[in-house]
Amino acid sequence: MKSKFLTGVRRAAFVASLLAAFLASPAAVAVRAQEEGVPRVIDEVIAQVNADVITLSMLQRDMAEAAESLRQQRGISPQQATEEIGKRRNEIIVTLVNEQLLVQKGKEMGMTEEVEAEVNRRMLDVAKREGFKSLSQLEQAMRENNIDPAAVRNTMRTEIIKTWVLGREVDQKIFFGLTESEVKSYYEANKEKFRKPEAIVLSEIFLSTVGKDPKEVRERANKLAAQLRAGADFGALAMVQSEREVNGKRVAPESKGKLGTYAMNDISKEDVANALKNLKAGGITDPLETEGGIIILRMDERTPAGEATFDENKVREAMTVSRMDKERKTYLDNLRRDAYIKIAKDYEESLLPLLKVEPQKSAGPTAPVAPKKDDKKKTETSRDKKQ
């Protein structure tokens, strides 16, 4: 049973497969520029986190990825997405600080070899799924799709180690730390959570509003809803009219608009949940606003909820989830409190209250990113030529 109401995300087929496994692959960001033969540093350190640093290029990379994701989710312009993500700049920096601390903690816990083995396993899984005979073939295909395999591997390492550290240091401790009496008391007080949920089977007709006049799309949706209520065949109409795309291809000609089975209590979008609440099997919703378009849903089937049953592991899982956010936040607060975190002067005022750390004393402002040794030799050579 699917746990979330599906939304469409357009991606090229190969890239979509990689992103599904790796979350995202950061693009390489140039940190230096040449001007009249003299290197000019255009990156800067935003924060020092113990022995590691967070740079402006790292922030720009994450903001660019977040803006692209938001653009695809909402169907908005690149400029709108960039402006929206720009408002979250400080939150993204805090996330980068937390990320650095979790990666450092994972290395301290000896996870490096285990994480690398998991990265290799996932890469092999993708290679097999996509029909490649070797990792080298997969990596070549990635390069042809403008995806840097080394960057993807690094992203994977980071995501895996973050998940594992929080899982072992926070989630598992909550799960196994609960007493039997706590578990039983929680079950008695929350029996409704442990009933077999009501199941629904849905079909859709999706009309995109991206690049279109929303009023015209709404009028078209109303006409389709009227046709359906007058007895039109939903599947046949969906095959012709529904515009949902996956990997750039319309899916309705094959699916006839069928979405699948869902737990009713997992439908989180309020207007959708309200529209489905009392809808009988065969019923049609009014057109509903959704990400990037307007959707008409049909209730194909409804299966009533079952009685509550006590399953200790499920109760422990529910209790863990209910406490997870608070405990993870406390864990990250403690990591930051115990770490050496030095924020660049220009960022201190906005970041220190969010990080909940005291300003560190230093002899001067945080230095820009220094050129590498090879760059230094090039610099000296260019200066010699000028002389």
**pLDDT confidence bin for 268, thresholds 50/70/90:** confident
**Average pLDDT over every residue of 306-321:** 94
**Average pLDDT over every residue of 223-237:** 95
pLDDT attached to residue 82: 94
Q: Which two tokens stand for residue 330?
A: 């406390």
Same domain? For 328 and 386 the reply is yes
pLDDT tens sequence across 274-294? 999 999 999 999 999 998 899
**pLDDT confidence bin for 22, thresholds 50/70/90:** very low
Q: In this structure, is the dihedral angle defined by the CA atoms of residues 41, 46, 52 and 58, taken in order, positive or negative?
A: negative
Q: Is the pLDDT of residue 88 over 90?
A: yes
Choose the final residue of a domain: 303, 325, 360.
Answer: 303
| CATH at residue 127 | 1.10.4030.10
Q: Is the pLDDT of residue 8 over 80?
A: no
Give percent of the chain with pLDDT exceeding 70.
Answer: 82
Q: Is 306:196 a contact under the CB 8 Å cutoff?
A: yes
**pLDDT confidence bin for 266, thresholds 50/70/90:** confident
Same domain? For 128 and 44 the reply is yes
Which residue did the predictor score with more confidence, 29 or 263?
263
Ordered DSSP codes for 310-364: --HHHHHHHHHHHHHHHHHHHHHHHHHHHS-EEE-HHHHHHHHHHHT-PPPP-SS
Q: Is 204:284 a contact under the CB 8 Å cutoff?
A: no
Same domain? For 265 and 370 the reply is no
| CATH at residue 236 | 3.10.50.40
Q: Kindly list the distances between the CA atom of residue 9 and the CA atoms of 6, 152, 260, 294, in Å, as whole numbers in the listed order.
A: 10, 20, 17, 15
Same domain? For 214 and 148 the reply is no
**Average pLDDT over every residue of 133-139:** 89
Same domain? For 360 and 347 the reply is yes
Choose the final residue of a domain: 260, 280, 303.
Answer: 303
**Calpha distance 86→80 (Å, rounded):** 10
Nearest Cα to Cα of residue 285 among 199, 197, 204: 204
**Average pLDDT over every residue of 168-191:** 96
**pLDDT confidence bin for 35, thresholds 50/70/90:** very low
Same domain? For 181 and 316 the reply is yes
Choose the final residue of a domain: 303, 319, 342.
Answer: 303
Q: Residue 377 phi/psi, 5° resolution?
A: -65, -40
pLDDT attached to residue 361: 65
pLDDT attached to residue 193: 87
Flag the least confident range among 10-14, 178-182, 269-273.
Answer: 10-14
pLDDT attached to residue 269: 87
| Average pLDDT across the chain, whole number | 83
Flag the least confident range among 67-71, 107-111, 184-188, 326-330.
Answer: 67-71
**Average pLDDT over every residue of 109-130:** 92
**Average pLDDT over every residue of 176-203:** 94
**pLDDT confidence bin for 24, thresholds 50/70/90:** very low
Q: Which residue reads 């409704």 in tokens?
A: 192
- Domain holding 190, by residue range, is 18-195+310-387
Beta strands in 172-285 (DSSP E): 199-208, 245-246, 249-250, 258-263
**Calpha distance 27→3 (Å, rounded):** 31
Same domain? For 50 and 153 the reply is yes
Same domain? For 28 and 108 the reply is yes
**pLDDT confidence bin for 92, thresholds 50/70/90:** very high
| 228 within domain boundaries | yes
| 344 within domain boundaries | yes
pLDDT attached to residue 130: 84
3-state secondary structure of 212: coil
- Give the orientation angle of helix 89-108 with respect to helix 112-129, to 10 degrees: 110
Give the bridge partners for 204, in sequence order: 297
Q: Is 161:102 a contact under the CB 8 Å cutoff?
A: yes
| 340 within domain boundaries | yes
Same domain? For 258 and 148 the reply is no
Q: Is the pLDDT of residue 5 over 90?
A: no
Q: Is the pLDDT of residue 37 over 50?
A: no
| 191 within domain boundaries | yes
Give percent of the chain with pLDDT exceeding 90.
Answer: 63
Q: Which residues contact 52 (CB under 8 A, 6 or more apart)?
A: 100, 104
Q: How many domains does the chain have?
A: 2
Flag the least confident range among 139-153, 274-288, 364-378.
Answer: 364-378
pLDDT attached to residue 196: 87
Q: Is the pLDDT of residue 354 over 70?
A: yes
| 11 within domain boundaries | no
Q: Is 361:20 a contact under the CB 8 Å cutoff?
A: no
**pLDDT confidence bin for 96, thresholds 50/70/90:** very high
Same domain? For 268 and 327 the reply is no
Q: Is the pLDDT of residue 151 over 80?
A: yes
**Average pLDDT over every residue of 28-39:** 36
**pLDDT confidence bin for 56, thresholds 50/70/90:** very high
Same domain? For 245 and 385 the reply is no
279: number of Cβ within 10 Å: 17
**Average pLDDT over every residue of 115-134:** 91
Q: Which residues contact 199 (CB under 8 A, 6 or more apart)?
A: 1, 261, 262, 263, 264, 301, 302, 303
Q: Is the pLDDT of residue 365 over 80?
A: no
| 1 within domain boundaries | no
| 6 within domain boundaries | no
**Calpha distance 14→139 (Å, rounded):** 12
Same domain? For 119 and 250 the reply is no
| 9 within domain boundaries | no
